[in-house]
């Protein structure tokens, strides 16, 4: 059952400029949303690049996730990816109209988890309503869409007792955590390195609470951070500590 507390998100920085000590996001343009994007025809000639429709995902299979909760630090998050986990994440910061967009490359572990859940649900053919009897829209509403070989189905819910629908709910949230954090730390190391120790603390908390989809997927990036002399020593040491933590077998 949900706790009634807002999930922890970092305050998003951006690839924009620092003004008055605050990072301001650039105007990245709005991606298409939910069913609007799911209904777009596949463009096999786009090679994964953004095409004229606004979608960055080409091919016969497209997975779409949308999180919406006005008032949260990230009130809107969109993830779209193909059968191989390649795609993009777009999100907004509360109080800003601009979209921030980064490429997504899900690990094989995460991709297989998601695909297994869609298969177990028989998602395209099912008409099951996954929404729990009580409404928990105060925690945010989720829209999940699958498009495959000309068929499209969209499911909307904010809490569920279906274990496979909940797995999608949870796994996409973990993916959101990973990629918003990577966005933050990437910008922080360039513009505000003194904030990076706090960002490492945030990642540590995510990992400890099982709020990152596939932590080993982060090891190459953490190794890079541990050797980046732009970061304070405490942040570099924390990155090295997290690499060891991730490498420990779970009890």
Range of lowest pLDDT (52-56, 94-98, 114-118, 179-183): 52-56
pLDDT for the residue 56 = 60
pLDDT confidence bin for 51, thresholds 50/70/90: very low
- Residue boundaries of the structural domains of the chain: 18-187
Give the tokens for residue 170: 């949870």
pLDDT for the residue 60 = 80
Q: Which residue has the higher pLDDT, 23 or 196?
A: 196
Instruction: Assess contact for 135 and 4: CB atoms under 8 A.
Output: no
Q: Residue 203 CB: number of other CB atoms within 10 A?
A: 25
**CA 164/CA 167 separation, integer angstroms:** 5
Task: Give the residue from 56, 77, 31 showing the smallest Cα distance to 178.
Answer: 77
Mean pLDDT score, 18-39? 39
Each residue of 160-175: pLDDT tens digit? 999 999 999 999 999 9
pLDDT for the residue 210 = 96
Cα angle value 109/67/69 (rounded, 5°):
145
Each residue of 54-97: pLDDT tens digit? 456 766 899 999 999 988 878 999 999 999 999 999 998 788 78
Helix, strand, coil fractions of the chain, as percent rounded to 5: 35, 20, 45
What does CATH list as the number for 18-187?
3.30.1560
Rg (CA), the chain: 18
| CB neighbour class for 207 (10 Å; exposed up to 12, middle 13-18, buried from 19) | middle
**CA 142/CA 61 separation, integer angstroms:** 20
DSSP letters of 142-180? Answer: EEEEEEETTEEEEEEES----HHHHHHHHHHHHHHHHHH
């Amino acid at each position: 059952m949900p706790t009634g507390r807002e999930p922890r998100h970092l305050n998003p920085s951006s690839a924009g400029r620092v003004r008055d000590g605050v990072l301001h996001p650039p105007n990245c343009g709005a991606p298409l949303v939910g069913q609007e994007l799911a209904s777009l025809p596949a463009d096999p000639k786009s090679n994964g690049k953004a095409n004229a429709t606004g979608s960055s995902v080409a091919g016969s299979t497209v997975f779409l996730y949308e999180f919406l909760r006005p008032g949260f630090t990230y009130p809107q998050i969109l993830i779209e990816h193909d059968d191989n986990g390649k795609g993009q994440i777009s999100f907004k910061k509360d109080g800003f109209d601009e979209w921030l967009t980064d490429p997504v490359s899900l690990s094989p572990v995460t991709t297989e988890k998601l695909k297994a859940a869609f298969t177990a649900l028989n998602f395209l053919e099912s008409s099951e309503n996954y929404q729990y009897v009580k409404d928990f829209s105060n925690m945010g509403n989720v829209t999940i869409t699958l498009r495959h070989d000309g068929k499209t189905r969209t499911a909307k819910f904010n809490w569920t007792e279906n274990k496979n629908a909940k797995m999608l709910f949870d796994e996409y949230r973990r993916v959101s955590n990973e990629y918003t954090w990577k966005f933050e730390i990437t910008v922080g190391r360039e513009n505000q390195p003194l904030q990076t120790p706090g960002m490492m603390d945030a990642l540590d908390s995510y990992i400890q609470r099982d709020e990152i989809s596939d932590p080993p997927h982060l090891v190459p990036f953490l190794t890079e951070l541990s050797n980046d002399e732009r970061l304070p020593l405490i942040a570099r040491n924390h990155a090295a500590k997290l690499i060891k933590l991730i490498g420990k077998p779970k009890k």
